[in-house]
């Protein structure tokens, strides 16, 4: 399925792709890039640029820094998730701390949500 997107965000998405956070790079290069399905980085969907998008599974993966725990950002994230859910997209959120301290658990959770196993990575 092709999702409508805000064309004015395309340049921002390109910039974000070139300047991924340490945690986004870790998840991308050490796990997501190796999956047997296509994962897009910094993908435009609607009025948002999501960190990672797996179209075949309709799953968005967001990596949240500390700023996301602030009330106004948490409310914005909730609105964003609701709008993406309305498009049939599931949003998986992981904190920077979980990427840094529980990386294998995050990867296992993503595999579970994608209905893949470790054997699928071989």
- How many whole angstroms separate alpha carbon 92 and alpha carbon 113? 9
Mean pLDDT of 104-119: 94
- Give the phi and the psi of residue 91 in degrees, each rounded to 5: -110, 125
Res. 17: pLDDT tops 90? no
Q: pLDDT, tens digit, for every residue of 68-83?
A: 455 566 788 889 999 9
- Predicted confidence at residue 75, as pLDDT, reads 80
CATH of 7-114, one of 3.90.920.10, 3.30.230.70, 3.30.700.30, 3.40.960.10: 3.40.960.10
Mean pLDDT, rounded, of the chain: 89
Phi-psi label, residue 18: left if phi above 0, alpha if psi -120 to 50, beta otherwise:
alpha
- Predicted confidence at residue 3, as pLDDT, reads 79
- Give the phi and the psi of residue 94 in degrees, each rounded to 5: -135, 145
- How many whole angstroms separate alpha carbon 44 and alpha carbon 65? 20
């Amino acid at each position: 399925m092709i999702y409508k997107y805000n064309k004015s965000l395309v340049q921002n998405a390109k910039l974000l792709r070139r300047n991924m956070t340490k945690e986004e790079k870790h998840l991308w290069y050490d796990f997501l890039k190796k999956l047997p399905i296509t994962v897009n980085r910094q993908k435009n969907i609607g009025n948002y640029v999501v960190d990672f998008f797996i179209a075949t599974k309709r799953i968005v993966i967001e990596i949240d820094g500390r700023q996301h725990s602030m009330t106004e950002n948490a409310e914005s994230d909730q609105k964003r998730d609701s709008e993406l859910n309305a498009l049939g997209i599931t949003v998986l959120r992981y904190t920077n701390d979980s990427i840094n301290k529980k990386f294998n658990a995050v990867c296992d959770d993503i595999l579970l949500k994608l209905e893949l196993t470790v054997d699928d990575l071989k």
